[in-house]
Structure 1
Amino acid sequence: MARGPVRTGNGARTVNPPAGPAKSRARGAAQRDGLVVEGLYKSYKRRPVVRGVSLSVRRGEAVGLLGPNGAGKTTVFYMIIGLIAADSGRISLDGVDITHLPMYRRARLGIGYLPQESSIFRGLTVEENIRAVLELTDTPRARRDSVLRELLDE
């Protein structure tokens, strides 16, 4: 991945500091020791909102994701933490593929998101809010789905 600002297909940019000689040597280590996001895509009703976003974050590194409103920044974060599923792409942590892990398992591995807004769940439907909370438990998926249906029927 290139260092410095990288513009994605939807106008967002990832910003990493320029790589010096030491950082260039450590580049391969980032593939094993940190978060690596490769080619994330997400569409809603056939409308692409995230197109091919890739980034990497080494442990202890701060990375900014910049872009105009509607560029897909929040959607990228939601896919990384497991709140929503990516249509395609790969998310790995310390070399382990976590793309399909539920949110609560990612949280146990240390993946979290502190939103700028006061509530992460404001833009979600009632069903999505309940599902997000249920995924924090170690309950089998079939049981979580059953509880979700019961709650929605109330």
Structure 2
Amino acid sequence: MSKVSVLEVKHLKKKYRDRTVVDDVSLYVQEGEIVGLLGPNGAGKTTTFKMLLGFIKPDQGNIFLNDEDITDLPVYERARKGISFLPQESSVFRDLTVWENIMMFLEFQALDPVEMKEKAKSLLDEFGIYHLKDQKASTLSGGERRRLEIARSLVINPSFLLLDEPFAGVDPVSVQDINHLIKDLIRRDIGIVLTDHNVRETLRITDRAYILAHGKVICEGSPQEIVEDRTVRKIFLGEEFTLS
């Protein structure tokens, strides 16, 4: 039986001058599960997320990928090891077509021209945007753009995908659409870490979630356990919050 892939952080700390923004944070995600990273503004979510990716180096603590310490590895080395990232801001090349956007990333893979075209078509088909392949990315709707970005993030066949605000800038119908797309990624045995201000939608698709406040993990558990936690309701969700 093959070993389950795990991305894990242990006792991360980050301080800016006299302010500790991440204080002894530990969490993990396994392949085939969706884990939420949530909390109020200033909780330390973004800093933790950036340390996972390698954009920020922790002052203390370690990041492990399948028991290998990757704390000091740069972003591109983490990508080579199977950690992909979807940023909040639009990352498509607006003046290129949908096809050109995905082929640009495939150029960096060890594939011959035929294999590249087959993979590009397969990914665009999977995400329902092959019919848009000749359109400029600037003409895409928010939901279509997100589909392209997610498809492109899968070019490296990642083991883990980190999604930063995937519901940002899209209409309510597209939010549901992206919700289903993220769930479908589990079929690929990808582990997903997701942070978004749309707490209800995030909790609807996560298997587990970590709630941060003042740089610390104050709660970890299933969506239902998160919602029922008194401390979380008091400082983050509010007393009237429901998943429905």
Q: TM-score scaled to structure 1, two decimals?
A: 0.54
Which amino acid in the other structure matches residue 50 of structure 1?
A: V
Aligned with 1:90 (options 36, 59, 62): 62
Query: What RMSD over aligned residues (CA atoms) do the two structures have, in Å?
Result: 1.6
Quote the residue 1:105 is aligned against: 77
Structure 2 matches for 1:1-154, cutoff 5 A?
33-118=5-90
Q: 2:86 aligns to what SS in structure 1?
A: coil
Query: For 1:81-108, what per-residue CA distance to the aligned partner results, in whole angstroms no more than 9, with x for missing partners?
Result: 1001000001000111101111110111
CA–CA separation in structure 1 for the residues paired with 2:50 and 2:25: 13
Query: For 1:48-83, what per-residue CA distance to the aligned partner results, in whole angstroms no more than 9, with x for missing partners?
Result: 000011111001211001100111101101001100
Q: Percent same amino acid among aligned pairs?
A: 58
Runs of 4+ in 1 over 2 A off after TM superposition: 115-119
Unaligned residue ranges in structure 1 (runs of 5+)? 1-28, 120-154
Q: Does 1 or 2 have the higher relative contact order (CA < 8 Å, sep 6+)?
A: 2
CA–CA separation in structure 2 for the residues paired with 1:61 and 1:68: 23
Which amino acid in the other structure matches residue 41 of structure 2?
A: N
CA–CA separation in structure 2 for the residues paired with 1:73 and 1:113: 15
1:77–1:113 CA contact under 8 A, matched in 2? no
Q: 1:54 aligns to what SS in structure 2?
A: strand
- The number of residues matched between the two structures is 89
Q: 2:72 aligns to what SS in structure 1?
A: coil
CA–CA separation in structure 1 for the residues paired with 2:79 and 2:18: 30
More helix by share: 2
Which amino acid in the other structure matches residue 68 of structure 1?
A: P
Which amino acid in the other structure matches residue 43 of structure 1?
A: K
Q: 1:113 aligns to what SS in structure 2?
A: strand
Quote the residue 2:118 is aligned against: none
Q: CA offset at residue 111 of structure 1? A: 1.5
CA–CA separation in structure 1 for the residues paired with 2:62 and 2:49: 13
Larger Rg, first or second structure (1 or 2): 2
Q: CA offset at residue 41 of structure 1? A: 0.4
Query: For 1:7-63, what per-residue CA distance to the aligned partner results, in whole angstroms no more than 9, with x for missing partners?
Result: xxxxxxxxxxxxxxxxxxxxxx66xx2101111100111210000111110012110
